[in-house]
Amino acid sequence: MTDLNTLHAIASLVPQGSRVLDLGCGDGAMLDYLQRERGCSGYGVELDDANVLACVKRGVNVLQLNLDQGLTVFEDASFDVVLQIDTLQHLRNAETMLRETARVGRVGIVAFPNFAHWPNRLSILQGRMPVTKRLPYQWYDTPNIRVGTHADLAVLAQRNGLRVLDSFGLQDGHTVRMWPNLRAGTSVYKLAR
């Protein structure tokens, strides 16, 4: 999810000057943008060597840690905002990580591919797992080990006692507020304890 419109749409949810933790920060583009354009500070967490290197190159603080081993290095409410952009679907302990996100950050922002987006539904109706621009993998090689929908996350958030401050879909860089579970390839939630 590297397109600029999407990056800007999510960045606009982060208040000016926030202290940000970006879990699964990739090449650090989001943090770099938040630092330059919104006066934010903070750290990215990343496992992949090439991404860690890209962050160091950009001058973004990055910590090479495995999210599946938890967030024990971070204290409660030590960040204004914790971002989890296209990360949740790769984690074995997705539920724990959602709780941890809300523990460490005063606000958690989670974005992930919405499996209930209509092209995916269509594909399933035809009896095949979807392969789209948003979900470009075959069923046998996908790194997305947690497949969920926009509606599913609302249930999981409630189950864990998290308040949904805002939620919407993103499609082609545009915000989708009407029927996001059907019309958006990406689901976005703003959560708090």
Partner 1 sequence: MLIATPQTMCFDAPLLLQSGASIHGYSLSYETYGTLNADKSNAVLVCHALNASHHVAGVYEGQDKSEGWWDNMIGPGKSVDTNKFFVIGVNNLGSCFGSTGPMHTHPDTGKVYGADFPVVTVEDWVNAQARLLDALGIQTLAAVLGGSLGGMQALSWTLQYPERMRHAVVVASAPNLTAENIAFNEVARRAIVTDPDFHGGHFYEHGVIPKRGLRIARMIGHITYLSDDVMNEKFGRELKDAVLASANGYKYSTQDVEFQIESYLRYQGDKFAEYFDANTYLLITRALDYFDPAKAYGGDLSQALARTRAKFLLVSFTTDWRFSPKRSREVVKALLDNKREVSYAEIDAPHGHDAFLLDDARYMSVMRSYFDSIPKGLEVTA
What are the structure tokens assigned to 129, written together?
């797992």
CA pair distance 132, 66, nearest whole angstrom: 28
Stretch of 50-58, 137-145, 152-160, 174-182 lying at the interface with partner 1 (CB under 8 A):
50-58
Contact positions with partner 1 (CB under 8 A) in 115-144? none
Stretch of 67-75, 88-96, 149-157, 176-184 lying at the interface with partner 1 (CB under 8 A):
67-75
- The least distance separating partner 1 from the CB of residue 98, rounded to whole angstroms, comes to 21
Contact positions with partner 1 (CB under 8 A) in 149-168? none
Q: Residue 51's closest CA among 64, 40, 41?
A: 64
3-state secondary structure of 97: helix
Q: Does 55 bind partner 1 (CB under 8 A)?
A: yes
Q: Does 15 bind partner 1 (CB under 8 A)?
A: no
φ, ψ dihedrals at 132, nearest 5°: -130, 180
Q: Does 77 bind partner 1 (CB under 8 A)?
A: no
3-state secondary structure of 105: strand
Q: Does 75 bind partner 1 (CB under 8 A)?
A: yes
Q: Does 20 bind partner 1 (CB under 8 A)?
A: no
What are the structure tokens assigned to 5, written together?
């419109």
How many CB atoms neighbour CB 150 within 10 A? 26
Binding residues vs partner 1 (CB under 8 A) = 19, 43, 49, 52-53, 55-57, 59, 61-65, 73-75, 78
